[in-house]
Structure 1
Amino acid sequence: MQRQQLSQSTSTINVELVRSIPETDKCFNKTSAFVKGSVVPPYNVIVASWPSPDGPDPNGCRMSLAAGPEDGSLSKLLDTWSYSNASAAHGIKIREIGGSTLVYFTDLVADALWAHKMDRLTGRAVVMFREQAEAGSHTRHPRIHPAGKYLYVLMEVANAITEYSVDEKTGWSSSRHRDGRFFQRTMFTITMTTTGGGADGISPADFSDEYAILTDHPRGYVEMEGIKQGKHGLESVTRDRALGVIHLGRPSRLRDCWPNHKKECRRPNYIIEFHLSPEDIKDPPVKRTLSCQADPAFEDLHSALQDAFGWASTHSYDFAVLDPSYDATAIDMFQMMENRRAMSQPSGTNMNPASAQRENVMRVKPKGHHIDSMHEGQRRHPRTLQKWADKFKMWQMFDNEEWKGFKTVYVYDFGDNWEHYVTVVGREPPLEVENFRCLSGEGYNVVEDVGSIRGWKRLKEAYAAANPTKGQRENMEWFETECSNKRP
């Protein structure tokens, strides 16, 4: 009945072409794809295009047009601009802040989010920032929360939503975004009537949360979607076509096979913060926050951390649960070597238990990695439980009630002894996504093989020196020619 009423009400509406404005200048011979109008005077209209193979360059184009204040009819072209890289718009969002108009574009080809500040009178647009997404994620359809604090971007290939925090005064989007799975739960799923592909789009109604409109690309029609409040939350409304809200994360297959999953597959993801040498690296700190599935082995977590921090994977590592009575201050490897020389100990002997050996309750180490006796002795107490990194699962450590509240560390490079403090800060639903996803980060990583904290500080002092010494110049030359992770 609702569908019939909709048809009857629209049958009396006549649509006619009033005026068209040809694309010129930078937008000449491009393929217009998206249009959005401002809701405040003078009601400028923004148009964005795909790259055109027949045009002078492959770059996506944007332009602003003036609309009549009375009836909204277009009057003239105000501004055009393009980008230096191959770009293709796949979504526009306009936000009005005070006397400024902010325009956000999602760039499907360049995997980026662009933001512009537009002069309302002249229509001139200035780029405020470009936020780069993960390569190949295909950014689409930006949306801003009504409160204005968050901007959401659909990642087509990643099948996820990225949440960006937005400065309420300036409109700038923070690079410290949460990439992926911040939904609490899936209410329900439906089966699409056609492909359910990326070209379909769903838009909730502005006037009610009970309706949404779906553009069905293969069939070429617009479909009404309906939902209602039921006994157990939101429920779909059964009609002659698919009704409901399409959620991300491929939840329908997860729900269908849920009873058959292994117990560990149903464990929620861990949200884990990794903090590098917090006592020594503070301004700024070096942190990464990852969403981690519970089932991968620690060998997989090590690989993810190498990518997240920018390490070069040239040294061994381990994960350890520390005895609560142990002072977790990072071990000074320089001091240990000086003590060893002072005692005339050969480098292959075990550490003096009274001075350097720590009591690890449990240790996970890689199989097949050679660890010399000096470092092996320092890292293992006779009572330490040892596991292989390729077999021991993350949930076996983080869900172990016996170790609740114990400190956990990830150590990379036993020579420089880079300690990352490991803290589980939350849990989230076990959606079917990658094993690991970096949610946020802070600070550039340190340089590999630089000589621990002292060497890192010396290298920074060398670059800060107005007249570097011979030793400082040699240090800088080593970094520029031999360092294995110049861009951590």
Structure 2
Amino acid sequence: MPALKSCFILGVLATIVNAAVHELIVGTFVSKALYTLAFDDEDNSLELIANISTPVPSSWISLSHDKKHLYGTDYIYVGADHNRTIPPVYVGYTIHNSSSITLDKSLSGVRPCNGSSIYIIPSPNPPHAVYGADYWGTPGCGCVMSVDASGALSEVIQDFEYLNDSGVHGMSFSPGSQVLYSADTLGNYLWTHAIDPTTGRLGEVLGMAEGPSPKAHPRHVVTHPSGKAIYAVMEGSSEVAWYTVDSTTNVPTMQEPMYSLLPSGTNGFSYWGDTLALSASAKYLWATTRAKNDGVPGYIAVYELNCDGTIVKEKFLKETTTSGGVANALQPAEFSDRYAALTDNEIGFVEIWEMRGDGSDADVIARIDLADQGNARYASGCCANAVWLN
């Protein structure tokens, strides 16, 4: 009972603890830039701080555990070309402040890994290794990178393979970083790898859970802080699946029910599931799906969770402003359960959504357009995902 009480107290506090101004960093698909933004939770303004030139676009960015460094993908759209011959490249930056972010180093994977880098995530636990995944390559691969004493990228310490037809688009750790979970979108698996606690290198494959259906295609995965549950969003079926985790092996087992990110009767082939993430207190799980056609809205949903990670119920499901393009990527704030940033690529904007105190609904309270030059694939060069600096 004490643990349950503590969990709900944390959930309450996370809805009321606010500073005035919070800063975000936004990645891109085409533009060689990082955008930094300031959100004021008192007047609900969202303003551009800086447009920082970078050597490459980063379709996914992640912060180090101390938020002194930023890690990103060197993103190149390949599409149906599974014979890409260039290994994936990852980049690391030092964050001096929200107006000054400078390149530390670029690191390249090794052959036969030959896809475009698509995802990157640092471990929150020592030795704080950084893990990357590539896409559109054969075989599907991942990469483990070490960091120096400051947290800057140092060197590639391991390249590892999934399957020939794999394409991992999201990763998550167990609470102590004993294992790495990988959402294999193209292979339709959820992988569990052991992690060496000393080096950060991956060890044996502990489990390979097939997608809930042949065309489910897990895209992103997130771990509940209790370590007892993980969640995955399915790109192919626009559903959220949840899994209980074996306390001894850390291997997940899928549970029922699954939760659709689409209203009843909607043609699922017109949508593709995108992101999911936990609120600050882990009392809520946010998730999104995108529409495949511009002019058709995607959807955003929130689910209430128990302290052990069990999904209690869906709180709401509603349309997003646009299709999201290839984004509709959300990132809940770390200072409150109420706020989440949502990126759009159909037009090229970032929105801040605010959830009601009881979690029953949410609305857009701030928006900034960052539309810039796109290409044949992307209507706008911006916006990929966003991360909160504070």
Q: C-alpha displacement at 1:149, in angstroms?
A: 0.7
Q: Which moved more, 1:213-222 or 1:75-84?
A: 213-222
Cα distance in 2, alignment partners of residues 169 and 208 from structure 1? 32
Choose from 115, 122, 128 the match for 2:199.
Answer: 122
Alignment match, 2:110? 24
| TM-score of the aligned structures, taking structure 1 as reference length | 0.43
Which structure has the larger Rg over C-alpha atoms? 1
Aligned residue in 2 for 1:224? 352
- Note the 1:235-274 alignment, pairs <5 A: 235-237=361-363, 239=365, 241=367
Mapped to 2, the partners of 1:145 and 1:96 lie a distance apart of: 8
Matched, 1:88 2:173: no
Measure, in 2, the Cα distance between the counterparts of 1:185 and 1:40: 31
Query: Which residue pairs with 1:62 in the alignment?
Result: 142
Identical amino acids, percent of aligned pairs: 29
Does the 8 Å CA contact 1:203/1:212 hold for their aligned counterparts? yes
- Write the distance in 1 (CA, Å) between the matches of 2:142 and 2:244: 25
**Contact 1:161–1:179 under 8 Å retained in 2:** no
Match of 2:131 in 1: 46
> Are the aligned partners of 1:26 and 1:80 in contact in 2 as well (CA < 8 Å)?
no
| 1:102 paired to 2:179 | yes
Residues 233 and 241 in structure 2, CA contact (< 8 A), matched pair in contact too: yes
> Which stretches in structure 1 are left out of the alignment for 5+ residues?
53-57, 243-488
Distance 1:234 1:9 in 2: 35
1:23 to partner: Cα distance: 1.8
| Residue from 360, 365, 385 that aligns with 1:234 | 360
| 1:157 is aligned to 2:229 | no
Post-superposition CA distance 1:301-329 (Å, at most 9, x none) = xxxxxxxxxxxxxxxxxxxxxxxxxxxxx
- Runs of 5+ unmatched residues, structure 2: 1-39, 52-96, 260-309, 369-390
Alpha carbons of 1:67 and 1:180: their partners in 2 closer, same or farther (altered >3 Å)?
A: same
For residue 334 of structure 2, the aligned residue among 185, 188, 206 is 206
TM-aligned CA deviation for residue 228 of structure 1:
2.1
- Take 1:96 and 1:26, find their aligned partners in 2: how far apart are those partners? 31
1:397-450 deviations in Å (ceiling 9; x for gaps): xxxxxxxxxxxxxxxxxxxxxxxxxxxxxxxxxxxxxxxxxxxxxxxxxxxxxx
Change (3 A) 1:23 1:234: same
CA deviation string 1:243-282 (max 9, x = no partner): xxxxxxxxxxxxxxxxxxxxxxxxxxxxxxxxxxxxxxxx
Deviation at 1:224, TM superposition (A): 1.7
Question: How far apart, in 2, do the equivalents of 1:193 and 1:112 lie?
Answer: 31
Shift of 1:190: 3.8
Counterparts of 1:355-374 in structure 2 under 5 Å?
Answer: none
TM-score (ref. length: structure 2): 0.53
Letter in 2 for 1:223: E
Distance 2:334 2:111 in 1: 36
- Aligned partners of 1:149, 1:183: CA distance in 2, in Å? 12
What residue in structure 2 maps to residue 471 of structure 1? none
Give the structure, 1 or 2, with the largest relative contact order (CA under 8 Å, sep 6 or more).
2
Cα pair 1:65 1:74 within 8 Å, conserved: yes
Could you tell me how far 1:122 is from its partner in structure 2?
3.2
Per the TM alignment, residue 51 of structure 1 is displaced from its structure 2 partner at its CA by 2.2
Q: Which amino acid aligns with 2:118?
A: A
Q: Name the Cα RMSD after superposition.
A: 2.7
Task: Supply the distance in 2 between the matched residues of 1:51 and 1:179 (Cα, whole angstroms).
Answer: 32
Task: Give yes or no for contact 1:193–1:241 (8 Å, CA) kept in 2.
Answer: no
Amino acid at match of 1:93: S
Contact 1:26 1:82 in 2 (8 A): no
Instruction: State the Cα deviation string for residues 89-148 of structure 1 (Å, max 9, x = none).
Output: 111102243xx6311110111111011111133333121111011211111110111211
> Residue 157 and residue 25 in structure 1: after superposition, are their counterparts in 2 closer, same or farther (change >3 A)?
closer
d(CA) in 2 for partners of 1:125, 1:219: 39
- Which residue of structure 1 lines up, in the alignment, with residue 101 of structure 2? 15
- Structure 1 residues 112 and 172, CA, compared in 2 at 3 Å: closer, same or farther? same
What is the aligned counterpart of 2:210 among 128, 132, 135? Answer: 132
For the pair 1:169 / 2:212, whether they are aligned, the reply is: no
Structure 1 residues 122, 236: closer, same or farther in 2, change over 3 A? Answer: closer
